[in-house]
Amino acid sequence: MMSVPTHSPNANRLLIADTDTEALRLAAVVAAKLGYAVASASNEAQFCDEVAHFAPTVILIDPQVLGANAFDPLRWLGVRLATATLILTSAQDPIPLTPEEINMAYGLEVSSMLRKPLDEGSLATALTPTLNLSRRISEADLRRAVDRAQLCTHYQPRMRRDADGWSITGVEALLRWNHPEYGLIFPQEFIGVAEEHGLIGALTDFVLQDGIDCVSGWNRAGRRLGLSVNLSPKLFTDVDFADRMSEFLWNHGVAPEQLTLEITESAALNDPSGTLEILSRLRARGIGLALDDFGIGYSSLTQLYKLPFSEVKIDKAIGMEIPQTPAARMIVRAIVDLGHHLGLAVCCEGVESKIALDLLHKCGCDHAQGYFIARPMPAEDLSRWIDAHGGAAALRAAS
């Protein structure tokens, strides 16, 4: 069971992670003035506990000071898929890692870097934009985003294993919000709001429409790619969904086998009987179904055979750990074997290195997706990216 966060109702929650009592005190005063609820942590145990229970929206952290005894707080946050924005502090000049390096290495968003000693002015400057960041997602904002066409889709290539390497066979559509003031906003910040306020159907229609338009265009250009689209559980109320989907695909010249709908485990668990009926209809029409984010959170092995999935996707938190953690490699092998025994294709997400890709090849994983292959990108860039990688876009495996 996942532990239930008991965080404050304040939408702006700052966790200050440092051992310097003066830094802790000053940051707490400045943040409280700005309207943050504040918690602090001065060791590994407190830090892990506060991240789980206080669920900070922003973390002000000196990773060198907090990391001790082989504990790397940034890696730990990355593996947990923490969504908090980070403000890094350091007494070193220059600060050893850049925000881009941290994003690349751990998938974390760093909004600013502060050199110690901290002062009130620089703390307020760093904490103000992140305050807006966590306040900005309201229902009204999101409605405007839909109406004013501020949504866009990025596509991340997926590769399929063949005898001696990998080739591009499909893409996953990932929703983005191109905010006029704040730039690109990622789905974890707004999918929850959309679900809560009945806007998720409009967002999903947008992603399906854009994705199928793209695939239809690629088909006409002779480039046949599969499309994976994430589906929210809230949409499993309409038994005619499968019929409407088949008709839509047919009208766009896209084969049902080219579409895979991805559902997270928590979603699939909500209403087993209604879900089963809708999923069975989709599979009967040839549309693929993937169980997303497998191996973390609500992992339930029974979902794999009780619901008619065609694919299982190993969560990126496990994929990212392949190079450095023997247990992650064992888990991947076990899921690949299990999936194959159940007749499912297996895709591993979070492939960030050649080592991971080669290991997946060796253990027979069918598909791979991750930053080592490519980051999600706009459709125009995708065509160029595939061309640049040589049409069939193949990556050879290590011999």
Work out whether 293 is an interface residue with Mg ion (CB under 5 A). Answer: yes
Work out whether 191 is an interface residue with ligand C2E (CB under 6 A). Answer: yes
290 vs 306: CA distance, rounded Å: 13
Nearest to residue 356, comparing CAs of 387, 301, 395, 309?
Answer: 395
Measured at CB, which residue is nearest to Mg ion?
262
Work out whether 369 is an interface residue with Mg ion (CB under 5 A). Answer: no
Structure tokens at 318: 């496990």
| Cis peptide upstream of residue 376 (ω within 30 degrees of 0) | no
Work out whether 379 is an interface residue with ligand C2E (CB under 6 A). Answer: no
**Residues 154 to 213 in contact with Mg ion, rule: CB under 5 A:** none
Which of 50, 265, 311, 352 contacts ligand C2E by CB under 6 A? 352
Work out whether 262 is an interface residue with ligand C2E (CB under 6 A). Answer: yes
Task: Determine which helix (DSSP H) or strand (DSSP E) holds 145, and give its type and residue range.
Answer: helix 139-147
Work out whether 230 is an interface residue with ligand C2E (CB under 6 A). Answer: yes
Binding mask 194-223 for ligand C2E (x = CB under 6 A): ----------x--x----------------
| Buried/exposed code over 240-254 (b: 16+ C-beta within 10 A; e: otherwise) | ebbeebbeebeeeeb
Dihedral sign (CA 16, 22, 25, 27): negative
Work out whether 262 is an interface residue with Mg ion (CB under 5 A). Answer: yes
Write the single-letter amino acid at 77: L
Shortest gap between Cβ of 228 and ligand C2E (angstroms)? 8
Which of 90, 204, 230, 246 contacts Mg ion by CB under 5 A? 230
Which of 13, 158, 316, 329 contacts ligand C2E by CB under 6 A? 316
Shortest gap between Cβ of 376 and ligand C2E (angstroms)? 5
- Choose the stretch contacting ligand C2E; rule: CB under 6 A; options: 242-250, 275-283, 364-372, 381-389: 364-372
Q: Which residues contact 348 (CB under 8 A, 6 or more apart)?
A: 313, 314, 318, 319, 322, 332, 356, 360, 365, 367, 368, 369, 370
Shortest gap between Cβ of 359 and ligand C2E (angstroms)? 14
**Residue 57 binds which entry of ligand C2E, Mg ion, none, with Cβ cut-offs from 5 to 8 Å by kind?**
none
Q: Which residues contact 340 (CB under 8 A, 6 or more apart)?
A: 346, 364
The string of DSSP letters for 216-229 reads HHHHHTT---EEEE
Which of 210, 321, 349, 366 contacts ligand C2E by CB under 6 A? 349
Nearest to residue 323, comparing CAs of 315, 311, 336, 332?
Answer: 332
Which of 8, 48, 75, 186 contacts ligand C2E by CB under 6 A? 186
**Residues 24 to 83 in contact with ligand C2E, rule: CB under 6 A:** none
Work out whether 351 is an interface residue with ligand C2E (CB under 6 A). Answer: yes
Half-sphere exposure at residue 77, Cβ-oriented, CA atoms within 13 angstroms: 32
Q: Are 148 and 124 in contact (CB under 8 A)?
A: no
Shortest gap between Cβ of 204 and ligand C2E (angstroms)? 6
Q: Which spans of this chain sit near Mg ion (rule: CB under 5 A)?
A: 230, 262, 292-293, 349
Q: Which spans of this chain sit near ligand C2E (rule: CB under 6 A)?
A: 107, 156, 174-175, 186-188, 191, 204, 207, 230, 232, 262, 292-293, 316, 320, 349-352, 369-371, 376
